[in-house]
Structure 1
Amino acid sequence: MEHYTVVLTKSDRQILDSYLPVAEGMAEFWGESCEVVVHNLEHLDASVMKIVNGYHSGRQAGAPISEITLSFLNKMLEDPQLRHVTYFAKNRRGETFKASTTAILGENQRIIGLFCINFYLNCSLNSFLHTFVPCSKTEAENISEIFVENTSELMLEALENAKNAVYGNPSISSSNKNKEIINLLYQKGIFNLKDSVVTIAEHLGISKNTVYMHLRNQNK
């Protein structure tokens, strides 16, 4: 793969940029044992565009692509069906990690970058488990997520939760209860769903126009 070059378009750069918060989120989810790297293949000698927890490999943004990553890129370029590779490796300190390299595709399905995850296996069990244990009981109870099979179920579940919150608040007058319910649903983004106004109006026993009126007031 001599002299591999790719000239990025504006769209390509936007695609690569979209992976930067993904790298942050992935590293935060898996904890300090997880190194995440976004490579920009426009300049292989400084391909590391973003790296989180880079102390594992001693790299920082602007570092060159590694030999093993370069070899996987070569295989991906030779085989259009190959777009991700998972493997085990060791860093220069002899620490074993499980790695994943995934192609980032730009315009015309060109490989414009690589998204790499390196999870170091020498972390203590206590450290690993600490990442997945809430710091406090309050933190664990603050968010409740219920998975549903369709958007109708999602809307009705959200509506039921909003009604319970509003009806359980004696400071909200009867005349303002529907308004507050719609306010809660708006804050949760329920009205971004298709047919949400119709569904909520029917189950609250009010007109669509009333729902729209309350929504307009949210934006004032």
Structure 2
Amino acid sequence: MPAESGTARPINNIVAKRRFSQQDRQLLASYAGLVDGLAAMFGRHCEIVLHSLEDPERSVIHIANGSHSGRGPGSPLSEQALRWLPELERQQLNHSPAGFVQSRLGAPVKSSTLAIRNGEGELIGLLCLNLHLSAPLHEFMADFMPQVAEPPEMSPENFSNNVEELVTLTVERTIEAINADPDVANNAKNKQIVTTLYEKGIFDIKDAIAMVSSKLNISKHTVYLYIRQKKRDEDESIA
């Protein structure tokens, strides 16, 4: 998809060493968290590389799972990245089509390159995703499955169409969970429900207190009381 702004520069200038502004460097550095997040999501066999075009001979500024290619910070642009640079610049593309290449050991890799542009639309960096397909299938699957030794707490996500529905779903599921908890005494359940909802940030939403008081069949004053007690406990733990 074409970018909305920016003017293509001469192709021979794309790979020339040039001086970036501090804003350009900060923008590129902000992508480091995205690199780590994508690696955590897609697993150990997805190599993700953040390049700065300020110095193509030392372009890699952040990398995840770099053991696949043997690269690290300070490594140069890859042949694949160099191949796509002219097209990304000439056609003002935001990314290359996903395609298949070979690793340094001849193994198949599915690869895609994303353009990073500054506020003026100038191409200043690349985010490259390389999925190494030669890995054993069970290792791929293991990265997408819960670890048996450390089972995660799989609480249902609330995908709601509006705020009122979000509050209602959250309140109902919290009530259900606490009412089913034998460790919470019956006379303490309402307070625990309000405390849990407070920790979830529900009371930052307009009219949530009225909705909770109605669901629990208690007064709004009682809800406020439980919230004040929770805040006081937090303040005392900090002091």
Contact kept? 2:35, 2:50, Cα under 8 Å: yes
- Secondary structure of 2:129's counterpart equals strand
**RMSD of aligned C-alpha atoms?**
2.9
Q: How far, CA to CA, are the matches of 1:41 and 1:104 in structure 2? A: 10
Q: Partner of 2:3 in structure 1?
A: none
**Distance in 2 between residues matched to 1:8 and 1:214, nearest whole Å:** 51
Query: Could you tell me how far apart the structure 1 residues matched to 2:184 and 2:28 are?
Result: 47
1:149 aligns with 2:160: yes
TM-score, normalised by the number of residues in structure 2 = 0.75
- CA deviation vs aligned residue, 1:12-52 (integer Å, no higher than 9, x gap): 44433332222122222222211111112222221111111
Question: Which SS does the other structure have where 1:51 is aligned?
Answer: strand
Q: Is the 8 A contact 2:167 2:208 kept in 1?
A: yes
C-alpha contact (below 8 Å) 1:197/1:212 kept by paired residues: no
Shift, 1:147, TM fit = 4.6
Matches within 5 A, 1:1-220: 1-4=11-14, 5=18, 7-10=20-23, 12-80=24-92, 82-85=93-96, 86-136=98-148, 139=151, 142-150=153-161, 151-169=163-181, 172=184, 176-191=188-203, 193=205, 196-197=208-209, 199-205=211-217, 206-207=219-220, 210=224, 213=228, 216-217=231-232, 220=235
Deviation at 1:193, TM superposition (A): 4.9
Matches of 1:14 and 1:152, distance apart in 2 = 39
Cα deviation for residue 179 of structure 1 reads 3.5
Shift of 1:131: 1.9
Q: Distance in 2 between matches of 1:29 and 1:65?
A: 24
Gaps of 5+ in 1: none
The DSSP-based 3-state class of the residue aligned with 1:36 is strand
How far apart are residue 192 of structure 1 and its match? 5.1
Distance 2:123 2:230 in 1: 44
Q: Please list the CA deviations of residues 122-170 of structure 1 after superposition, one character each: whole Å capped at 9, or x if unmatched.
A: 1111222222232228615x21333523233222222122212333345
Q: Distance in 2 between matches of 1:108 and 1:179?
A: 54
> Kindly, what percent of the aligned residue pairs are identical?
32
Q: How many residues align?
A: 217
Change (3 A) 1:186 1:54: same
Please say if residues 52 and 125 of structure 2, whose CA atoms lie closer than 8 Å, have aligned partners that are also in contact: yes
Normalised by the length of structure 1, the TM-score is 0.81
